[in-house]
Structure 1
């Protein structure tokens, strides 16, 4: 007699499922290395922590865009006449102070009058500029400070930016003035952004750079709000007024040459 077997019984089904889900160990089959699993887990945790840190400290927002404006017209003066006494920083080693940078609170010339809106001195020359080539030359030729000041005319029609770049020597100044020429694409000094002052660099603007010994002095002016209804002659007149903020450098020249008390 052949005994019948219940192939559909629950016990048989359970055994079948076990065989299907858990394949039998076979010779040569290797399990994952526990150390690799732990390493992968640690790496994943590190990535998660880094992402959380970025979100916490930045709020998940992108960094503000750098104002990469350049002047419409730019005129450099490489001469440096009258500043031979401080052609090298070794003759004028004292760092520019906040007081010197903000000393010209009011500027007036001809029909134009300006008030200092804000001034900043930084020892991080890269943070006040943009452009890899310009920043590379600033480092190469010994930039130690950049002064940036923003001016607004009393009638609110003009805005001006005033920069002083403290280089190691006159050779470095002349290289930076070459870098600032528009056709090089090397970069520029970033305008100082001031609350309640019209954004700078969007309209027709003119910049003039001069060699004051081991200092590069740059004035950059335009009509407030980027108004393009202006002439180059008008901006030249405005620029000459803004350049008056460089008067403190004459005090340094006097001190180095022994002809005055200086600042």
Structure 2
């Protein structure tokens, strides 16, 4: 009887790697020492990569928007200014620094008596829309902005929309009636960063994703918000003068000067 060999054979073991790297050999390291050194270097590389990744993520987190500044998501069509500036109240408005001395609510007839505002270089703005809200929150968006304006004792929010006679520009003027000049100044200062997560609602629609510029002006216990854009939504070019546009729309502040005169008796 012949004896047959089994069909299975023992698998040959893969030979261990040759830990005999020329550069390490030149350093006088034996294969076992070379293997240990390579393992230590690999572990160190993993740790360094992990630390670097953590630092990058942390840095990105630092630049992430403050959740409080994002506020509530704006409704479709709401925009925030790409460029913004704010100014404190001039001394001329000290007589109306407190609503206790200037308690009469403003009216549409008072604020919007002039349907045309004239600027320099033949710039003319025509009034297209106007409204006064006693619920200031309805004129704004952004949780933090709405909260700060409410805490500032806002009782009125007037908004007016204007379009230039040549149809090239549109602007909005907003006036907030607050309790005193202190909270008015604080709001203007806050808006330097707060405008990224809260702003006024447009009384007339701006072009979708339009480039806009904004400004806030403390005027005694009032705050005026100016909002500017080209009607095509494009960024201003060499022939555009947004500074002149801002001055033209700020002519809507004239009724506040009349209030100062009424209280002081001087022009």
Q: TM-score range by the shorter chain?
A: 0.5 to 0.7
The question of 1:222 aligning with 2:229 is answered yes
**Which residue of the other structure, out of 216, 219, 233, is the alignment partner of 1:212?**
219
TM-score using structure 1 length = 0.68
**Which residue of the other structure, out of 112, 132, 139, is the alignment partner of 2:143?**
132
Q: Quote the residue 1:256 is aligned against.
A: 263
Asked if structure 2 preserves the Cα contact closer than 8 Å seen for 1:70 and 1:182, the reply is: no
**Which residue of the other structure, out of 79, 95, 101, is the alignment partner of 1:91?**
101
Specify whether residues 66 and 139 from structure 1 end up closer, same or farther in structure 2 by C-alpha distance, changes over 3 A only. Answer: farther
Q: What is the alpha-carbon distance in structure 2 between the residues aligned to residue 226 and residue 259 of structure 1?
A: 43
Q: CA deviation at 1:185?
A: 4.0
Specify whether residues 236 and 120 from structure 1 end up closer, same or farther in structure 2 by C-alpha distance, changes over 3 A only. Answer: same
Asked if structure 2 preserves the Cα contact closer than 8 Å seen for 1:114 and 1:154, the reply is: yes
Q: CA deviation at 1:219?
A: 1.4
User: Which deviations, in whole Å up to 9, do the C-alpha atoms of 1:185-243 show, x marking residues without a partner?
Assistant: 441111112xxxx6257322222221110010121111112122436971111111110
TM-score using structure 2 length = 0.67
Q: What is the alpha-carbon distance in structure 1 between the residues aligned to residue 214 and residue 100 of structure 2?
A: 29
**Which residue of the other structure, out of 243, 248, 255, is the alignment partner of 1:241?**
248
Q: What is the alpha-carbon distance in structure 2 between the residues aligned to residue 155 and residue 122 of structure 1?
A: 30
Specify whether residues 232 and 131 from structure 1 end up closer, same or farther in structure 2 by C-alpha distance, changes over 3 A only. Answer: farther
Asked if structure 1 preserves the Cα contact closer than 8 Å seen for 2:139 and 2:201, the reply is: yes
Matches within 5 A, 1:42-121: 65=75, 67-111=77-121, 112-121=123-132
Specify whether residues 224 and 69 from structure 1 end up closer, same or farther in structure 2 by C-alpha distance, changes over 3 A only. Answer: same
Partner of 2:228: helix, strand, or coil?
strand
Asked if structure 1 preserves the Cα contact closer than 8 Å seen for 2:216 and 2:223, the reply is: yes
Q: What is the alpha-carbon distance in structure 1 between the residues aligned to residue 239 and residue 224 of structure 2?
A: 19
Specify whether residues 225 and 66 from structure 1 end up closer, same or farther in structure 2 by C-alpha distance, changes over 3 A only. Answer: same
Q: What is the alpha-carbon distance in structure 2 between the residues aligned to residue 258 and residue 201 of structure 1?
A: 47
Q: CA deviation at 1:151?
A: 0.2
Q: What is the alpha-carbon distance in structure 2 between the residues aligned to residue 209 and residue 255 of structure 1?
A: 25
Q: CA RMSD in A?
A: 2.1
Q: CA deviation at 1:181?
A: 2.1
Unaligned runs of 5+ in 2: 1-73
Give the number of aligned pairs: 193
Q: What is the alpha-carbon distance in structure 2 between the residues aligned to residue 200 and residue 97 of structure 1?
A: 29
Asked if structure 2 preserves the Cα contact closer than 8 Å seen for 1:101 and 1:120, the reply is: no
